[in-house]
Amino acid sequence: MLANNVGYFQTHRHHMDYPTYRAKGWPIESGVTESAVKLFNKRVKGTEQFWSLPGVESILVLRALWLSQDDRWARYWNTRPAYSKAAHTVTNPAPRV
C-alpha cells in the first residue's frame, strides 16, 4: 500500500507544484470544485437524483430559459402543443435563484 502511494507521488510530482500554484493565485484544494458541484446539484437537479446526459441537457436548457428574465420561458411553453391548448398561458414570474 505504501509503495503504491509513493509511486503515485513520484509519477505525478509535476502536478503538485504548490508554491507556483499559490504564487499564481490558483486554488490547490478541491473545495472550490466540490462547492460548485454541490451548488449545481442543489439548483438544477437535487442532491440524490441522477440524470442521463440527454436529460441533464434538457434540464439545463429549461433552467436557462427560466433564468433569462425575459419572455423566453413563456414563449417556449406557449408554443408547446399540449400546453397551448390549455385555457391559460404561462407568464414569466420572477426567477428563483
Is the pLDDT reported for residue 49 higher than 90? Answer: no
Q: What is the pLDDT of residue 90?
A: 57
Range of the domain at 23: 1-50
Is the pLDDT reported for residue 45 higher than 80? Answer: no
Q: Which residue has the cell 439545463?
A: 60
Q: 44 and 66, same structural domain?
A: no
The arithmetic mean of pLDDT across residues 22-43, rounded, is 86
Q: 8 and 34, same structural domain?
A: yes
Inter-CA distances, 37 with 25, 52, 78, 80, 92, Å = 21, 16, 32, 31, 27
Q: 43 and 2, same structural domain?
A: yes
Q: Is the pTM of this model over 0.85?
A: no
Is the pLDDT reported for residue 20 higher than 90? Answer: yes
Q: 96 and 62, same structural domain?
A: yes
pLDDT in tens, 76-90: 888 887 765 554 555
C-beta of residue 72 within 8 angstroms of C-beta of residue 65:
yes
Residue 53: which H helix or E strand, with range? Answer: helix 53-67
The arithmetic mean of pLDDT across residues 1-21, rounded, is 86
Q: How many domains does the chain have?
A: 2
Q: 55 and 40, same structural domain?
A: no
